[in-house]
Amino acid sequence: MGRIGIALTTVFVFGAILGSIHTSYAQSPVETSNQTTLSGDLANNPIAQDILEKIEQTKQWIADLEKREYEKTQAQQELEEKRAVALERLNQDLLEWENLWSNYTARAVFERFVEDKPAQVQGVFWDQFEFMEMKVDAGRTALKEVIANGGTLSQARAAYHKAAETKRIELIEMNAQFNVKHNLAYYKEQLLFNSTGQLTRDPYTIATLGEFYKDYRASPEYLDANPNDQYAYESLETSPDTDCRPGYVVVHRLTNNDYACITESTAEMWERHGIGEIVDTDAVIYDEASLTPTIPTNPATKCKDRHVVVYHFEAKAYGCVLESVAQTWIAEDKAEIHDLTEFILGKDKQKDVKNQVFEINQEILSIYDNNILEQIQLKKYYDLMYQEADKSAYKQEKELLLGFNSDGQMSKEELAIQIMEVRDNNELNKERILEDKIKALEDLKLELHKELQSMANSFEDNPNIKIVWDSAKEKFYAIQR
């Protein structure tokens, strides 16, 4: 028999074996029992016996693999269960540890410290604490970013210290804001101090500070002690419809249920101390129309989630916007993000500019005052010419009358004609004087306008200050750009 015949016979026998094998299985997660039998002549066939032996070996291999996989799965499951139990015990231990040391945390210790302080200043202390926590959180975030980006421990520490650093000028600024927030200071008054907390004695500061303390009777403390002092405000006849003079507003005095015209700065103090309410809703006392004083948005302002404080160039103000909007504006060169130090130093510059504006306006006011004096002198000069003209005419009339009475050569008709000529000439002379007076005043006014226009032109390239013309008041004045 050839190789092909042997192969065909083997295939046939294998097929017969497969067709004659009876197998039964009883399976479990870890054990597999098999029973394989041969029927007929195959029971004594050596080839069939060999194939059957290989089948049994294969089954055993499969059973061993399944058992090892099951044991591995069981071991993994037991490990996860043990981990869960260990984690639960760890969390419980940590909770017990936190409860044990809760009285010794920074917040708990600080809370006991604040409890001993007067109620009106406790809010300031808590704002200070949260500000320092914000700095620490910023440092931790910076540290984690450096580590995540593959930085060294030294670089991470440097990033932490830079982000968590708190400068002295920042503490001064934030204390000022916290005191304003809790009605312990006035925002407009705090603007007069520089970044180091110093009150400089410049003209602008002195003039502005005087608005707060120019009259002790406007003090809320004085009014609380002397509620019936009728001289503490402008008029007892003031009503809600009273039109106060510029710079003054109508305030309803809650203590006496009457009304008064007082300065805006005094009205601000009265509202904050709860002794009055502003009746004129159009008056701008705070940066926002609210009985609760607010501080304009600045880099220290806490925005909502996913918002950030930016400085918008066109609006020249800070505002909270979405982070995506901020990125777009920054890319379009419409805004930029400032840190707190930049904001504080910027306030110093703004204060210097305000002082310059004040001094320029004082100079402009002096020019106007000098012009008024020149006008007065000019009017006096021409009024004197008027008087001299009248005196000259009166003298001529008197001489005509004396001549008429002394020689008798002039008739009454001639006398009357000559007196009328003197008077007509005097009227013509006075008209010329009036024309000269009007022209001189117009020339003086034009000279003033040219002088101030020249001053305004000199500030065209100044990045901080410009001089503008108020057509309603017909005056120049300096403003901050």
pLDDT of residue 331: 92
Average pLDDT over residues 381-396: 89
pLDDT of residue 265: 72
Average pLDDT over residues 212-223: 61
Average pLDDT over residues 146-155: 91
pLDDT digits (tens, 9 = 90+) for 165-178: 888 999 999 998 89
Which range has the worst mean pLDDT, 155-164, 399-408, 455-464? 399-408
Where does 191-341 show beta strands of DSSP type E? 248-253, 258-263, 276-278, 307-312, 317-322, 335-336
140 vs 237, higher pLDDT:
140
Range from 113-127, 188-202, 400-414 that averages highest in pLDDT:
113-127
Per-residue DSSP letters for 5-68? HHHHHHHHHHHHHHHH-EEEEEE-SS-EEEEEE--GGGGG-HHHHHHHHHHHHHHHHHHHHHHH
pLDDT digits (tens, 9 = 90+) for 275-311: 777 875 443 333 332 333 467 888 888 888 888 899 9
What residues contact residue 167 under an 8 Å CB cut-off, 6+ apart?
341
What integer best gives the mean pLDDT of the chain?
78
pLDDT confidence tier of residue 161, bands split at 50, 70 and 90: very high
pLDDT digits (tens, 9 = 90+) for 59-85: 788 887 877 787 788 888 888 888 888
pLDDT at 162 over 50: yes
pLDDT digits (tens, 9 = 90+) for 322-356: 888 899 999 999 899 988 888 888 888 888 888 88
pTM above 0.75, yes or no: no
What residues contact residue 307 under an 8 Å CB cut-off, 6+ apart?
320, 321, 322, 323
pLDDT confidence tier of residue 39, bands split at 50, 70 and 90: low
